[in-house]
Copies of this chain bind each other. A is one copy, B any other.
C-alpha cells in the first residue's frame, strides 16, 4: 500500500475542512464561520522581517520562502534523517546558503517526504498555501516536486506575489514584528513615513538584556547604552536605558513587549541588591544564583514599566533552547531544537501580581507550551485578575487538536472574553492566512458544539466568533 501515498489526485481544499464531522454541529459551524471568514487579519505577534514589507522585494525561490524559514517543516525532515544544511537552514551560521540547484533539491526532499506531515498543522498550512496562493493542483511527491517548484517559481516572478501585494491579498490589517531593543526600527519608520496603509508594528523583545548569566551580557548592555545614549555602567542607567528603548519602540508603534525565560518566577530586589548584582555581573563576578535573581527581578521591573508606559506584556516561558549543541553550533538558534519544559505560573507570578495584578491598564498575556497549566493555573488567574489574559496556543500546540483542548480547558473558568485572540507567531509569511483561517474554523467548531449541546444560543455563538477574531485582539493588545 506504500504506493498509495504517491497518488496524484486533483488537489482541492474542502470548504468544510476542520469543521466538526457531526452534521448538526457542522451546519452550525458553517453558519458561524461564514460571518468571520472574510474579516481582516490582525497579527499582534510574529516574526516576519519588516524589511520584506518595507522594501517590497520579490521572494527569491520556493525553498527560501516556504521551507527554510519554517522550523516546523524542517525539524520533521531532520527527524527523518535529512541534514538541515540541505534545507538551507541556518545559512548565516553555516555559511552554506543554497544555490538554485540546492533550492530545487531541498524542495524535492520535502515533496518526497510529504507523508511525514499527515496529521500535522504544517500539512494543513502548506496545503492551503500551495492550493490557494499558488494554484497547485497536485499533491507533493517525488513525481510532482519539480512541477510544483516551477509553478511556484513562476508565481514569484509575478509582481502579484510581492510582499505588499500579498499583504493586500491576505488582508492583513495589522502585523507585529519581533525586534531587538537596540534595533533602530528603520523599516517600521520608513513604512510610517511613507504612509503605508497597513499597520506594521515592532515588538520589544528584551530577553537577552535581562539575563546577566549570558556570556555576551556585558556587550549587550554596552550596546543598550549606545542605542539609548544613556550610560549603562550602573543599574540606574540600565533601567533608564531600557525605559528609553521602550519609549522609542512605543514611538514607532509598538504595543507590546514579549518575554521568554526559562521560568516565570518573579521577585523584587531592593535597589541596593539589584545595583550590587548588576555591578558584579558586569565585573564577571556574579554567581549563577544572583544572575537568576536579577533576571526574575527584571521581569517585575518590566511589569512596572508596562504599568507606566502602557505596553502590553506577553510571556511564553519554559523552553529548553538549543537542546542539541552540535546543531546550534552548525546552524544557530531557532532551527527546531527548542524543547518545552514544564512551567509554574501560580506561585511564580504571585510577587508580580501582588504589585501590579490590579493596576489600571496593565495587560499581561500568559502563553504556554505546557498544556497542564491551562485549566490549573492560567484560566484561574485570567478569570480573576483584570490584568491577566489567557494567550491562545502559539508554539508546538498551535494546531487543531491542541486548540480544541485549549478552549475545552480554559473556557469553563475564564470564558472567552479573557483570551487573547489568535497569534500566528510565524516567520512563514505565506502561512499567515492559513493559520488564522484554521483558528477561525476551529473556534467556530467549538462554539457550534456548545450550540448543538444547547449550552449556548446561536446568536451568542456568532457574537463570540466575531469577538475572538475582531474584538479580543484589539482589546487585549490595545490596538
Q: Is A268 an interface residue (CB 8 A)?
A: no
8 tightest A-B CB contacts, nearest first: A399-B412, A14-B454, A21-B452, A17-B454, A119-B411, A75-B384, A401-B408, A4-B463
Contact residues of A with B, CB < 8 Å? 1-2, 4-5, 7, 9, 13-14, 16-25, 35, 75-76, 78-81, 115-121, 123-124, 139, 320, 323-327, 336-337, 339-342, 344, 346-347, 350, 353-354, 357-358, 369-372, 375-377, 379-386, 388, 396-397, 399-402, 405, 407-409, 411-418, 449-450, 452-457, 459-460, 462-464, 466, 471
Q: Using Cβ atoms and an 8 Å threshold, which residues of chain B touch A388?
A: 79
Report yes or no: A455 in contact with B4, Cβ–Cβ below 8 A.
no
Report yes or no: B347 in contact with A18, Cβ–Cβ below 8 A.
no
A90 to chain B, nearest CB (A): 14
Bound CA–CA A130/B346 (angstroms): 34
- As for how many copies of this chain the complex holds, the number is 3
- The residue in chain B whose Cβ has the minimal distance to the Cβ of A337 is B384
Report yes or no: A346 in contact with B371, Cβ–Cβ below 8 A.
no
Q: Using Cβ atoms and an 8 Å threshold, which residues of chain B touch A381?
A: 339
Q: Using Cβ atoms and an 8 Å threshold, which residues of chain B touch A336?
A: 383-384
Report yes or no: A76 in contact with B383, Cβ–Cβ below 8 A.
yes
Q: Using Cβ atoms and an 8 Å threshold, which residues of chain B touch A409?
A: 401-402
Q: Using Cβ atoms and an 8 Å threshold, which residues of chain B touch A1?
A: 35, 462-463, 466
Q: Which of A23, A323, A357, A384 has the most CB of B within 10 A?
A: A384
- The residue in chain B whose Cβ has the minimal distance to the Cβ of A382 is B79
Bound CA–CA A330/B327 (angstroms): 52
Q: Using Cβ atoms and an 8 Å threshold, which residues of chain B touch A462?
A: 1, 4
The residue that A454 contacts in the complex, of B16, B450, B455, with Cβ under 8 A, is: B16
The residue that A453 contacts in the complex, of B20, B76, B415, with Cβ under 8 A, is: B20
Q: Using Cβ atoms and an 8 Å threshold, which residues of chain B touch A372?
A: 342, 370-372, 376
Report yes or no: B121 in contact with A376, Cβ–Cβ below 8 A.
no
Report yes or no: A17 in contact with B119, Cβ–Cβ below 8 A.
no
A125 to chain B, nearest CB (A): 12
- The residue in chain B whose Cβ has the minimal distance to the Cβ of A16 is B454
Bound CA–CA A388/B81 (angstroms): 11
A339-B380 in contact given A5-B463, A460-B115 (Cβ < 8 Å): yes
The residue that A463 contacts in the complex, of B76, B115, B416, B464, with Cβ under 8 A, is: B115
Bound CA–CA A323/B353 (angstroms): 9
A199 to chain B, nearest CB (A): 22
Report yes or no: B119 in contact with A453, Cβ–Cβ below 8 A.
no
16 A-B contacts, Cβ less than 8 Å apart?
A: A2-B471, A5-B459, A5-B460, A9-B459, A16-B453, A76-B383, A76-B414, A117-B415, A118-B460, A123-B456, A139-B457, A323-B353, A337-B384, A341-B344, A372-B372, A400-B412
Bound CA–CA A119/B20 (angstroms): 18
Report yes or no: A456 in contact with B350, Cβ–Cβ below 8 A.
no
Bound CA–CA A117/B20 (angstroms): 24
Bound CA–CA A358/B81 (angstroms): 9
Report yes or no: B384 in contact with A413, Cβ–Cβ below 8 A.
no
The residue that A369 contacts in the complex, of B18, B376, B449, with Cβ under 8 A, is: B376
Bound CA–CA A340/B384 (angstroms): 13
Report yes or no: A118 in contact with B464, Cβ–Cβ below 8 A.
yes
A101 to chain B, nearest CB (A): 25
Bound CA–CA A17/B25 (angstroms): 14
Bound CA–CA A203/B119 (angstroms): 32
